[in-house]
A and B are shown apart, each in its own frame.
Chain A
Amino acid sequence: MEFNPLTGICLSALLVVAVLVIVAFVRGSAGLRTYIITRVLLTIPMVFVLTTIIFFVMRVIPGDPVTSQLGPRGGAEARERMTRELGLDRPIGVQYVDYMTGVLRLDLGNSLIFGNRPVAEELGERLPATLELIVPSLLFATGFGILGGTFAAQRRKTATDYGLRLFSITAYSIPVFWLGLMLQIVFSLRLDLTPVAGRMDAVIGTTLERTTNLYLVDSLITGNFPAFFSALHHLILPVLSLGLILSGVFLRLSRINVIEALTEDYITAGRARGIPERVLTYKHALGNAFIPIIALIGLQFSVLLAGAVLTETTFSWPGMGLYLIERIGQRDYTAVQGVIVVFALSVTLISLITDIIYAYLDPRVQY
């Protein structure tokens, strides 16, 4: 099997799963072990069912890859030839079995549109791009949102609190593309501080040796610092717009949960033992408020894998969302199926990690 970034990502994901499973086995209860094994095994039918559904749904909806490429006026002969070349003339059952056996061998097939590149190779470029966008955005959003929310909760009904609440409502009611455009206008066009779009300066990009397609990682491991800073420079605006928008939800959720935790008896009891308010708020209350926040982080991560499409469009960021929309439009069956397989695996992995973090954070959680 040839090595490409997608395989790399899959392998690192597997590594993460392996580490988690080992940790759970060593430190967790018997219940947690069974739970993790069940969850990992359940992924198989889940991927199977999802892929099957997508396989047939894609073929039921009107339009097909041949028409989308040749246009409505394409000659009958050309159509026939292309249909045969793409293997779409075979009975649908045969196509299905063929595709599914491929998936079992971790072969996602070739794209059906011009170029017919392997889907795995294309995803290997797109998934890292999305990860490089959403991981920093989520870090920014959660860091800022959780601290801001806790800060506001501690100062409930003061000017600071009202200010932060106003910010959070504004943040999550602003469309991300609008904020992105405004940032581009101010920082890129007026102030000329940041690039308008893309992942890296085109000239510097030619010097970058790509292995993982996470540009920050690639440039660091090859010691290509101009490329690293270029990647960082290009990340600022997209991460800022996506992160600010997301931070609104995290701020609201953290604030309300910390406020609720602060009314608990153990907070009063702690106060009666002379524990400082700062410790009560950031350790005791926030610690207990963390469960729903973790759930939201996991959920947002899954959503953003495809849902960052507006940010990706605004900043011409060649990520998964953009890819999915593009390929649905072109009826590129295999590409869409490939995306779904990757999503299914990611969602499982994320919820598995979330659940293990739960069990770690809250000793009462039983599986």
Chain B
Amino acid sequence: MDNDILMRVEDLDVRYKTRIGYVSACDGINLDIYKGEVLGLVGESGSGKSTLGKALMRLHPRSTVQTGHLWFDGDDLMAYSPRQMRRIRGERISMIFQDPMTSLNPIQRIADHITETIKTHRPQTSDEAARARAAELLDVLGITPRRLDEYPHQMSGGMRQRIMISLALSLNADLIIADEATTSLDVIVEAQFMSLLKDLCREFNLTILLITHNIGLVAQLSDRVAVMYGGRLAEVGDVGTLFKDPKHPYTQGLLGSVPSIKLHDKDELYRMEGSPPDLIAPPSGCRFHPRCPHAMQVCVEQQPPLAEVEPGNPAACWLHHPIPEGHSAEPLPDRQEAPA
């Protein structure tokens, strides 16, 4: 299995500098991305999932502190110079951005976006070859190559999102990071986007990190899921197991909060108490303890390790790990007993 790891994220910390202190947006992230898989990364807004996505490409400005290791193809990307990093971006790792309406240069033609990307990485490519590649990509994504010479404002949101995908595909990147790629699309376009991405995965054997807060999208597209809470990973596992039997109370709450049209009158939508943690002064111990229905003394005092509960399904929760000596499993006064 180890050979098939495309990227190994090791002890990744990302801290933003603000006027009132550092925001710990990613804290001790350890995550493997396997070749050919679609890994869903879910969590609430502000849980650090987009920060993580950008950190994988080292896209954060210099004022942001980023430490840890990003093992990619035997090298640690964290040790790369800006110049080496630039060669990786677009060519080996590419990204589909959140907002297709603003992520294309308004004064650049569609064709130029693609050919510029190709010629930046492969300067020896002829203009005709680059343009032919652009036409081919648009064709794959169901846009007629006649529209190559149009400007972004002449296209609809769904089309622009497909252009963003074609840009990400233009150099056959090994890893594609899709950062909330469907958030700004309406449901119908979103559905089209999903089935398109599914086809592309099958056709080109893509490796995708799908960052989203849309559980439905993850359920449909992903092989595995990583759940993030307050800048840390709460739980990782393959979609089937994790959705059927979530280990972490946060995952349970998150899945319970997804509205379904099939919901019966009696079933109530789960409402999670409290609000996401303040990442400038995060809660002690487990960052989820102020909102967790099963919080114990130990949860306040000690951070739970992200250790395997079942093979391939690690969860960071004291409910599933032996409690270290000197700490107590006594539930907090206002919480309920841990489930059996």
Inter-subunit contact A266/B120 (CB<8 Å): no
Which residue of chain A has its CB nearest to the CB of B92? A274
Centre residue among B87, B89, B121 by max chain A CB count within 10 A: B89
Contacts of A276 in B (CB 8 A): 86, 120
Q: Do A363 and B103 touch across chains, with their CB atoms under 8 A apart?
A: no
Whether the pair B120, A274 counts as a contact (CB closer than 8 A) is yes
Complex formed: what's the CA distance from A271 to B88 in Å? 11
CB-CB contacts below 8 Å: A259-302 with B: 264-266, 268-276, 279, 284, 287-288
User: B92 CB to closest chain A CB, in angstroms?
Assistant: 9
Chain B residue at minimal CB-CB distance from A276: B86
Q: Which of A264, A274, A363 contacts B102 (CB 8 A)?
A: A264
Chain B hits for A192, CB < 8 A: none
Cβ-based interface call for B90 (8 A): yes
The size bracket of the interface on B is 20 to 34
Q: How many Å from the CB of B148 to the closest CB on chain A?
A: 14
CB–CB B91/A274 < 8 A: yes
The residues in B between 195 and 246 inclusive whose CB is less than 8 angstroms from any CB of A are: none
A284 to B113, CA, bound (A): 11
- Contacts of A364 on B, CB cut-off 8 Å? 106, 151, 153
B97 with A271: CB separation less than 8 A? no
Chain B contacts for A268, CB-based, 8 A: 59, 97, 103
Tell me if A361 is interfacial: C-beta within 8 Å of chain B.
yes
A279→B120 CA distance, assembly (Å): 10
Q: Which of B57, B90, B94: most chain A CB closer than 10 A?
A: B90
A226 to B102, CA, bound (A): 56
A-chain residues with CB within 8 Å of residue B164 when the two chains form the complex: 269
Q: Give the CA-CA distance A271 to B90 in the complex, in Å.
A: 9
Q: Tell me if B73 counts as interface (CB < 8 A to partner A).
A: no
B95 at the interface (CB under 8 A from A): yes
Complex: A260 Cα to B301 Cα, angstroms: 45
Shortest Cβ distance from residue A261 to the other chain B in the assembled complex, whole angstroms: 10
Query: Beta-carbon contacts of B140-155 to A below 8 Å, as 1s and 0s?
Result: 0000000000010100
Number of interface residues of A (CB under 8 A): 20
Interface pair B86/A274, CB less than 8 Å apart: yes
Query: A362 near B: Cβ within 8 Å?
Result: yes
Residue of B nearest to A280 (CB): B105
Given A273-B89, A274-B117, check contact A288 B57 (CB 8 Å).
no
- B95 touches which one: A272, A275, A279, A362 (CB < 8 A)? A272
Residue-wise interface mask of A (237-278) relative to B, using a CB-CB cutoff of 8 A (1 in contact, 0 not):
000000000000000000000000000111011111111100
Contact assessment for B107 and A272 in the assembled complex, using a CB-CB cutoff below 8 Å:
no
With contact pairs A274-B90, A275-B117 given, residues A288 and B105 touching in the complex (Cβ less than 8 Å) = yes
Partner of B97, one of A265, A275, A279, A361: A265
Distance in angstroms between the alpha carbons of A268 and B88 in the assembled complex: 15
Contact B97 A272 (CB under 8 A): yes
Contacts of B103 in A (CB 8 A): 265-266, 268-269
**Complex interface: chain B residues within 8 A of A288 (CB):** 105-107
Alpha-carbon separation in the docked complex, A274 to B90 (Å):
5
Bound-state CA distance A315–B293 (Å) is 83
- A residues near B75, Cβ cutoff 8 Å: none
Question: Are B107 and A362 in contact, CB atoms less than 8 angstroms apart?
Answer: yes
> Given A284-B108, A361-B107 in contact, is the A273-B102 Cβ separation under 8 Å?
no
Contact bitstring A340-362, B, C-beta under 8 A = 1, else 0: 00000000000000000000011
What 0/1 readout, one digit per residue, does chain B (23-60) give for beta carbons within 8 Å of chain A?
00000000000000000000000000000000001010
Q: Tell me whether A275 and B107 are in contact (CB under 8 A).
A: no
Complex Cα gap A149–B167 (Å): 31
Per-position binary interface string of chain B over residues 94-120, scored 1 when its CB falls under 8 Å from any chain A CB and 0 otherwise: 110111001111111000000011001
* Contact residues in A for B102 (Cβ distance below 8 Å): 264-266
Minimum Cβ distance to chain A for residue B138 (Å): 16
A306 to B33, CA, bound (A): 67
**Closest CB in chain A relative to B84 CB, distance in Å:** 11
Chain A residues closer than 8 Å to B151, beta-carbon distance: 363-364
Which residues of chain B come closer than 8 Å to A270, judged between CB atoms? 105
Query: A273's contact among B94, B106, B153, by CB below 8 Å, is which?
Result: B94
Partner of A274, one of B87, B97, B104, B105: B87
Q: Which of B268-312 contact A (CB under 8 A)?
A: none
Chain B: minimal CB distance from A271 (Å): 6
Whether A272 contacts B90 by the Cβ 8 Å rule is yes
When C-beta atoms are compared, the residue in chain B nearest to A361 turns out to be B107
State the CA gap A271–B60 with chains docked (Å). 11
Interface centre among B89, B98, B105, B107 (most CB of A within 10 A): B105
Is A284 a contact of B105 with CB atoms below 8 Å? yes
Which residues of B lie under 8 Å from residue A266 when comparing CB positions?
102-106
Q: CB within 8 A of B167: which of A273, A287, A361?
A: A273
Please state if B59 and A271 are interface contacts (CB–CB under 8 Å): yes
Identify which of A264, A275, A362 contacts B116 (C-beta below 8 A). A275
In the bound complex, CA of A271 to CA of B94 (Å): 10
Would B88 and A274 count as touching, CB distance under 8 A?
yes
B167's nearest neighbour on chain A, judged by CB, is: A273
Measured between beta carbons, the chain A residues less than 8 angstroms from B99 are 265
Give the 8 A-B residue pairs with the shortest CB-CB distance, closest first. A274-B90, A273-B90, A274-B89, A265-B102, A363-B151, A269-B103, A272-B95, A266-B105
Having A269-B103, A272-B95, A364-B151, one finds 4 other A-B pairs with CB under 8 Å, namely: A265-B97, A274-B90, A275-B120, A363-B151
Q: Provide 8 A-B residue pairs closer than 8 Å at the C-beta atoms, listed in order of the A residue.
A: A269-B95, A269-B97, A272-B57, A273-B120, A279-B116, A279-B120, A288-B106, A363-B153
